[in-house]
Amino acid sequence: MITFDKTISLEEYNHLRSLVDWYQVSERQFITSIPKSIFITVGRDSETGKAVSMARAVGDGGYHLLVVDVIVHPDYQRQGIGKQMISQLMDFVHTSYIEEGETTMVSLLSAKDKEPFYEKFGFFRRPNDERGAGMSQFYTQTVKGEIQ
């Protein structure tokens, strides 16, 4: 059985990231970013207490929310855990983030070939006839002042 809480350690976070071939974050990045998450949910195996999934969202507190770090340990995939986490996040948006009469934009950058999963929650693909493609850029600081 999976239980959910809102806490994760740096080691658990980087372990989950490594399972999906994402880069590791530094302690500084972790302690700066995770507490600023507007929403976070961490799935734990109730028998071992091990973190097996997580999802979080960051945003401006008003109009825009960005879904990030949606990860489910490969050994726990296809058990509905991802669906539970995104449902929790969308419930948060509807009950705590947006007020009556307001419009907010919830965005995400899907991992390759995971788009059908998010479409089940009402997300749409970009580009489309109305909107351009999402874009990203990564920087790595190798020596202070020099970026690759």
Instruction: Give the pLDDT score at 113.
Output: 93
List of E strands, the chain: 2-5, 39-45, 51-59, 64-72, 105-108, 141-143, 146-147
* Whether pLDDT at 135 is above 80: yes
Inter-residue long-range contacts of 32-39, CB under 8 Å, 24+ positions, other chains counted: 33/58, 34/8, 38/65, 38/97, 39/65, 39/88, 39/89, 39/92, 39/97
Q: Which domains does the chain have, with CATH numbers?
A: 2-147 (3.40.630.30)
pLDDT tens readout for residues 88-122: 999 999 999 999 999 999 999 999 899 999 999 99
> Is this structure's pTM higher than 0.85?
yes
* Whether pLDDT at 142 is above 80: no
pLDDT tens readout for residues 20-52: 999 999 999 999 999 999 999 999 999 999 999
* Whether pLDDT at 146 is above 70: no
Q: What is the mean pLDDT of residues 121-141?
A: 88
Instruction: Give the pLDDT score at 114.
Output: 93
